[in-house]
Structure 1
Amino acid sequence: MVDARTLTPGHSGHMTVLATFARMYVDDLDAALPSFRALTGEEPRLRFSHRGIALAVVGGFLLLAGAPEALAPVRATQATVVVDALAPVLDRAAREGAEILAPPRAVPTGRDLVVGHPGGAVIEYVEFDAAARAAAGLAP
């Protein structure tokens, strides 16, 4: 856990949210996909693996599947928010007195960080790289 003020790079720009995904922890990604296709009317836009977890974006959902020990460190995270840049997230976290649970780091889709907000919400913020933005159908 890191104090957000130590990570804030002095950026005071506006945070632009590009997409928000409800995280769904499932036992078997392939078995879960047909239900989420039917629910959303969409095909998976992104599908990848990271740290022993298989992930797929279908509509407004981020599906995560893996062994209990792989999922344990991420289960407390309640939503994933795609933003245009992480710096404004750090600024806002510092102003709100939020706790940085995972500092900015490289992930398969770009960079992310995890914030524990006052009141208890735990949110992953992701700055997609160009390839992930295109695959997710988000503006460049």
Structure 2
Amino acid sequence: MPDIAAVVARVYVEDLEAAIPLYQELAQVKAVDRFAFRDVQLARVGPFLLLSGNSTACQDRVATLLIRRLAPVLTALERVGGHIIDGLSPAPNGDRLIACHPDGSVFEYIETGDTEPPA
């Protein structure tokens, strides 16, 4: 079973509440998981992660990857010459880290520990 449980598209919005209905319709879900991290207000709507507020510091991320275990990510990054920008640290949804791949792509990884991909 692969360690990547899901890839979450990051969407930066001015007004979180105004943006949510469109993403609920696109994802065909009613559930919205709202939370805050540092100066950013977030809402997870299906495969979308909406970010609002002071998100300038995190706009370099290509995507958020929900990972069952972070250890294989750390091993792979070390082997290919990637590096950790921020983390390993706790976050509202699980332990996280921000990593830069050798090609310059920046990803957020969150360890969910899930055995099944999120719905």
- Answer whether TM exceeds 0.5 for this pair: yes
Aligned-partner Cα distance in 2 for 1:61–1:120: 23
Q: Secondary structure at the match of 2:61?
A: coil
Q: 1:56 aligned to 2:36?
A: no
Q: Report how many aligned residue pairs link the two structures.
A: 117
Matches within 5 A, 1:99-118: 99-118=83-102
Match of 2:118 in 1: 138
Q: 1:46 aligned to 2:28?
A: no
Aligned-partner Cα distance in 1 for 2:11–2:91: 19
- Structure number with the higher helix fraction is 1
Q: Secondary structure at the match of 2:60?
A: coil
Match of 1:71 in 2: 55
Runs of 5+ consecutive residues of structure 2 not aligned to the other structure: none
Aligned-residue offset at 1:43: 2.2
Aligned-partner Cα distance in 1 for 2:104–2:25: 32
Identity of aligned residues (%): 38
Largest Rg, 1 or 2: 1
Aligned-residue offset at 1:92: 0.6
Aligned-residue offset at 1:15: 5.6
Moved beyond 3 Å, runs of 4+: none
CA contact (8 A) 1:54 1:64 kept: yes
Change (3 A) 1:90 1:18: same
Q: 1:127 aligned to 2:114?
A: no
Over aligned residue pairs, what C-alpha RMSD do you find? 1.9
Aligned-partner Cα distance in 2 for 1:64–1:117: 23
Aligned-residue offset at 1:45: 4.2
Aligned-residue offset at 1:52: 1.8
Match of 1:16 in 2: 3
- Residue type of the alignment partner of 1:109: N
Aligned-partner Cα distance in 1 for 2:95–2:60: 19
Q: 1:30 aligned to 2:17?
A: yes
- TM-score using structure 2 length: 0.88
